Amino acid sequence: MIWKRLKIESGSEVYPPKPASLLLARIAAKIAAPNQKILDACCGSGIVAIAVAKFVPKSNVIASDINSEAILTTKKNAKKNRANVLAIQSDLFAEFSDCEFDLITIHPPAVPYLPGKNWGMSNGMGVATNGGIDGSELVIRSILEAKRCLKKNGRLLLLLPHWCNTKKAFKELYANYKNVSKLAEKRIEFFPATTGNPEKEMLEHAYRLAKKGQIRIEFKNGKPYSYASVIMAVK
């Protein structure tokens, strides 16, 4: 994939750049400032971290992911694009110190999963997408755990897919940050249903959640879509 002259590759075990990822990358490159220390957590193929490192002069960028394949891929993509990015394997923020970052960007796993069921994707993609029963488990963890690593007045840029329970997410955002705002929103394909090989129970579960209003899935010409928002929260 080529985006803004950045060349990004990803294998079957790594979350590839998708429209929501590119939306986060574009906004992160605008929000980040020179000389800031920035973390892109759940980095996948590294598109957000690399965009910030390339387009924000003198930025100090770290990328992290729990998936070792994502770390290797990010390192390769950073080298290919001559971007100064340090990639570290970490379960969310476990490897980082308190009050360390000016800005944290994150696109956490947010797809609803039933226990023992899957969407027919690779193991790596399962790790990158599994957000628990209503998709919000890793989103909530990200919101709560990121706060510890942000400096005073530091900012969290959260890519929030609406195929997770966004009501739970906003409850935690407003409870833990002094200022919360939506910077952008984009209509996106609900890709697990179309690019994976989902078990019937998974599709039925997602559609039940949507019918209850816990997640948002719409159909156009029989194809499922949702939305993704970029949320900024200030510590």
Q: How far is CA 200 from CA 120, 123, 203, in A?
A: 11, 19, 5
pLDDT of 41 reads 98
Residue 136 located in a structural domain: yes
- Is 48 within 8 Å of 83 (Cβ atoms)? no
Residue 201 located in a structural domain: no
Considering Cα of 172, then 104, then 95, then 110, what sign does the dihedral take? positive
**Tens of pLDDT, residues 175-209:** 999 999 999 999 999 999 998 889 999 999 999 99
pLDDT of 196 reads 82
Residue 223 located in a structural domain: no
- Cα of first residue to Cα of last residue in the chain, in angstroms, is 34
Residue 46 located in a structural domain: yes
Residue 34 located in a structural domain: yes
Determine the average pLDDT of the residues in 32-61: 97
Residue 210 located in a structural domain: no
CB atoms < 10 A from the CB of 185, how many?
14
Domain count, the chain: 1
Mean pLDDT of all residues in the chain? 97
Which CATH number does the domain housing residue 149 bear? 3.40.50.150
Cα-Cα-Cα-Cα torsion 207, 210, 214, 216, nearest 10 degrees, comes to 130
Q: What pTM value is reported for the model? A: 0.96
Residue 197 located in a structural domain: no
Tell me which residue range forms the domain holding 168. 2-109+127-187+228-234
Residue 64 located in a structural domain: yes
Q: What is the pLDDT confidence band of residue 221, given thresholds at 50, 70 and 90?
A: confident
